[in-house]
Every structure is written in C-alpha cells, then in structure tokens.
Amino acid sequence: MSSKYVIARLEAGGHRFEVLVKPEEAWEFKNGKSKKIEDVLVSEEIYKDANKGLRAPESALKEFFGTTDPISVAQQIVLKGELQLTAQQRQQMVENTRKQIVNYIARNCVDPKTNLPHPPTRIELALSQVRFAVNPLKPVEEQALEAIKALRTVLPLKTSIAELEVRVPAAFRKHYNQISQLGNAKSTRWEEDGSFTVVLEVPGGMKLDVISKINNFTHGQASIKESNTR
C-alpha cells in the first residue's frame, strides 16, 4: 500500500465498508479540524475489501447508511470507523505529531528563570528523557498539556502570556491588519493623526518573534511596551 493513503474501515452487521483516505487529513476530519470530506478522500469508491479492489454492493450501502451517495457514505466511514495505519504511516504521523507538540511548548512556555523560550532541541531531549509517548491519533494540544506536566520534572517550564502595548506611527498604519493578527488584539485606539495603539496578547514563547515582526513592519519605529505578563 502506498504511504500516501490509508484505509478507513467500518464494520457493521457482518459487513465491512472501506474507503481510501489521506491519513493525516482523515485524522483531522475525525477530530473536527477539517470540514471537507473531499479533502480527505483519495477516491470516492466504497469497498468491501480495498486491497482486493472489491466494491461494496449498493444494497448494503442503502441498508446501513440509508444512501448510496459515496461522499455521504465515506464521511460516515471516516467519522465512525478506524484508520488502518501501516507501521511506516504511523511512524511518520508520530514524528509529525511530536514536532507539533514541541512547537506548541516552545510557543506557549518559557523558562521561569529567564522568561525566554527553551530551544526546540532542548524540549526534544527532555521529551526523550521523560520517555513521553506520542500518540499520532490524539489531539496535539491535549498531548502538549500532558507533556508540559511530565517535562516539569526535568525542565523548568511555565506557561506564559505576554501583553504588548504597540504604538505605531501613522506612516505605517497600512500594516494594522498584519500587526493586529500577530496575537489576540484586546484593544485598538486610533489617533487623529492616523497613528494607532494596539494591545496584543501573545504566547510568551512567541514574544520575541512578534516584536521582531512588528519592527520589520515599521522599520523599528514602533514603540513596544510589555504591559503585563502572566
């Protein structure tokens, strides 16, 4: 089987229904992160044995799904069924999920001694040290929160939200949208001269990156004050 797709399988009433899907997209769809089943499917064929190329009879589709529409049937198979991952596919998904967990921690946590984020490589090593088991079929944020608890035994960590008060000269008001989208914009105040002040909440681990981007947008002419960190 190609590493680019996997079988989603649903068994009901002694029948087996299978559809070929993209593994990561299928998992995101099952967890509500993607709304388009069309982005998940490799083909719209419904099988009783995909490996043998045997299609499921329409009578069985009608009986168990109430329709023969392949899109509707495929959606139910993916949502209610199981993904049949190969060892290679599972390992690739484990690696991808692990990277996402590390990135989440690097963005949202800092070293309480320095208030700076830990480098991803340090987080990677700490995950290995505590033998954190990554599950490719479990939401990344849920696992990241579990990982943070485990990592605190070997790595100083605290979750952090920084509040930045950003004052931008009128000459750079065209960059308001880009700047306000760098975090959670709590408030914005426009002055008569066209300048503006926006208060942004950003994950502590991303603070320096956000400040750097603001300086790039404004050629270093923005005034940035950290008004609160928690």
Give pLDDT tens digits along the chain (230 positions).
Answer: 455 788 999 998 789 999 999 988 888 888 777 778 998 999 999 999 999 999 999 999 999 999 999 999 999 999 999 988 778 878 888 999 999 999 999 989 999 998 888 999 999 999 999 999 999 878 888 999 999 999 999 999 998 888 999 999 999 999 999 999 999 999 999 999 999 999 999 988 888 899 999 999 999 999 999 876 66
Nearest to 197 by CA among 173, 213, 216: 173
Residue 23, φ and ψ in degrees, nearest 5: -60, -50
Helix pair 87-108, 120-129: axis angle to 10 deg: 120
For residue 170 the two structure tokens come to: 């009128």
Give Cα separations from 2 to 21, 43, 54, 81, 149 (angstroms): 11, 14, 18, 20, 37
Which fold does the domain 161-229 belong to in CATH?
Answer: Alpha-Beta Plaits (3.30.70)
For the chain, residues classed under CATH 3.30.70.240 are 161-229
CATH numeric code, 87-158: 1.10.10.900
Q: Using CA atoms, how far apart are residues 124 and 121, in angstroms rounded to an integer?
A: 5
Q: Per the confidence metrics, is the pTM higher than 0.95?
A: no
CATH numeric code, 6-84: 3.30.1250.10
Task: Give pLDDT tens digits for 99-146.
Answer: 999 999 998 999 999 888 899 999 999 999 999 999 987 888 899 999
Q: Using CA atoms, how far apart are residues 8 and 20, in angstroms rounded to an integer?
A: 6
For the chain, residues classed under CATH 3.30.1250.10 are 6-84
